[in-house]
Structure 1
């Protein structure tokens, strides 16, 4: 009986992701309590063995660990701060998407109410939950993460980033930056090649090869950024800027949108004007690290 109590878990929020999280916990054998504003969303999970709590407060009290995944942080505060739903004495793992500032504020909010708090970010689609491909980031006290890691492991590959509650949200944002930047670069190249009758499927393997090659540069470029030294070991920024100008020219001549390459070149031009033309591309971190003057 004690083992059952120690391994029980609650999931609040049963959208597609919440249902996937609860389903993975059930599959791993954890007694799972669920709650959602629309109770019918729990029907399948109840059929699989989950317990449906009548209120959010009952759901919180059912387990020492509550995973919450709802629409936004405001909804988290509304659900867990109303009526009998005070989270005193529980550990909250918040997998709701938001900003790092919201994560840090939610940690303070939870602490004032007697709860321990971990913030998280799910870097996966619902069907991947419960497999190693589902990466789930966590930030907050290491001890709280380690205590509940045996349960969290049922959700996928769980990673603890550090004590700062905002780190998971920051990593999430950084990951989105990578995703959209790679996709936008591919779309720019695809648009160019389509003007010559090349189909996207024909270009995709070449684009994959380029993307993988560039990804291989990242550790060395990261070392330059961390050291604050940018020797031009491969190419100087002023050389790269000439290639950017060529890309702008090629795009405009082909009748393809050139906003993206123009934006990149504008940042490079500012860095060159500041005296960094002879340094390597990662010196642009100084442009990315400051807000653009309005």
Structure 2
């Protein structure tokens, strides 16, 4: 997908966030009585936009260093460009793609809380990698939700990839064990594991994911392991504690932000980077299998503010 198409999709998905943020920024700039008033209002807006305390204080500190004369002599566009520059610096990191090794087994484990879009994302990643001529096997390790296995099978058929058979109620670690051995027997180079949603506060369920990871490390030879956490962007700051727990338990290697088109608070991307230093690798919105995009800082910030 070329630059203009990606930017168009980002702008389309971030329309709610952009409208909310830009309109309020414009109002603040137009109605602030002085520099101090502007900074106070801006701080409140950034917090409410889910940028988080740490990123907000950094931005306010940078704006505070601007000479008062610049506030008097420049227009709103000038300050919007300044904000873009500050946000890009906070997110400053090269595009982080899913790690795929050439000569070995690539295992991608999708984790997250209930309702964050894990199964849909699994199907979308499978579709993307299949179109890159990768040889993929889906592993339905969400054996507790009644419709999960069936949903993943539908997505597997739509994406044109294979999925191993399993039964509802099966032990997830055993399903993953079978999946690894099936991948070896069938000559697959990528395994995508869809796991059951779980609250990060449920210790026994988090332990179950750790068990799945141990099985992978024990049974797979010459492999790379990518652990992607799906985060529902509409949940805002609540997702930070989720991500902290999953990172501590599993060593999450990347974030997939879902439902970005359903929130007016796109700032959660900045909070995740600033608070956790986990790369946001993919953004998902919409129902189609091709509604999955690489996260690119400059395009994201441009789509958020322009």
TM-score by length of 2: 0.33
Structure with more contact order per residue of length (Cα contacts < 8 Å, sep ≥ 6): 2
TM-score by length of 1: 0.34
